[in-house]
Amino acid sequence: MPIIIKTPDQITKMRVACRLASEVLDYIAPFVQPGVTTGELDTLCHDYMVNVQGCIPAPLNYAPPGHKPYPKSICTSVNHQVCHGVPGDKKLKSGDIVNLDITTIKDGWHGDTSRMFAVGEASIQAKRLNQITYECMWKGIQQVRPGGHFGDIGHAIQKYAESHGYSVVREFCGHGVGSRFHEDPQVLHYGKPGTGERLEQGMIFTIEPMINVGKKDIRSLGDGWSIVTKDHSLSAQWEHSVLVTETGWEVLTVSSGSPPPPAFVTPA
């Protein structure tokens, strides 16, 4: 399908949905402590989205072709889980790292974002992976401008990740987002500059690199959703929803608790 260019009114509505998604992460951050279960985090986020924000949790009962309905309201991917981890009875322990992936629906529009959290005292390796993955996302964001190419985004992420000895997951990518959870285009986190479709003002899509300490290979678990590294190495992911503006980019999934951009980021 063609890439949907959002109108100014639609962009205004997307800003609201995206800010609300980020505010869920602000809300849940103090609860990410040793001893909490991923299921408890899911319940807290669900109740906040529904009862406080008046939103719909987009993942709940989401069923793309070939998948059974997703049973929870958020994704919780711990340690070697790459993405789509299903919340449950697993207790987080000190040293774990966990990605919380939030997608809200507000007035028919989706806001999609995720953050990494260190539980208790994480290892130096885990902290470094979280930081480099965050920087990878921002390296990609900085490539967003009208007339650029989607390959520019993927190349910047891949080059930065591999320069630090990490690998980039190939099977999952960013995506367009708007009135639907997943729209065109697919936003690869690897590639060659100057390739892929051109970026146009009004496009909104996610940039969400999944970066592994070990090899890039992955496998799926028996729940039909959770994806893990094949070599059991740590994996991290950060995600923002990004708007192509007249001159560059605007990150939509920001709130008062959002981590600041890395020092190398210059305004769009």
| Any domain includes 41 | yes
76 close to 38: Cβ distance less than 8 angstroms = yes
When pLDDT is cut at 50, 70 and 90, the band that residue 110 belongs to is: very high
When pLDDT is cut at 50, 70 and 90, the band that residue 43 belongs to is: very high
Please state the pTM of the whole predicted model: 0.97
Q: Give the type of residue at 40.
A: E
> Per-residue pLDDT averaged across 20-32, rounded?
98
| Any domain includes 115 | yes
DSSP code string of 65-96: TTSPPP-SSSEEEETTEEE-PPP-SPBP-TT-
| Any domain includes 3 | no
When pLDDT is cut at 50, 70 and 90, the band that residue 268 belongs to is: confident
| Any domain includes 187 | yes
Q: Give the type of residue at 166.
A: Y
Q: Give the type of residue at 126.
A: A
Query: How far is 177 from 67, CA to CA, in rounded Å?
Result: 20
| Any domain includes 31 | yes
Give pLDDT tens digits for 122-145.
999 999 999 999 999 999 999 999
**Per-residue buried b or exposed e for 24-49, using 16+ beta carbons within 10 Å of the residue's own CB:** bbebbeeebeeebebbebbebbbebb
- Token pair, residue 135, equals 């920087």
Q: Is the model's pLDDT at 225 over the cut of 90?
A: yes
Question: What are the E-state strand segments in 65-221?
Answer: 75-78, 81-83, 97-106, 109-118, 167-168, 174-176, 183-187, 204-207, 210-212, 218-220
The pLDDT of residue 1: 73
Containing structural domain, residue 199: 8-251
Q: What count of other Cβ atoms lies within 10 Å of the Cβ of residue 97? A: 24
For residue 254, give every residue at least 6 positions away whose Cβ sits within 8 Å of its Cβ, in sequence order, or none: 18, 19, 22, 240
Mean pLDDT computed over every residue of the chain: 97
CATH number at residue 91: 3.90.230.10
61 close to 72: Cβ distance less than 8 angstroms = no
> Per-residue pLDDT averaged across 44-56, rounded?
98
Number of independent structural domains in the chain? 1
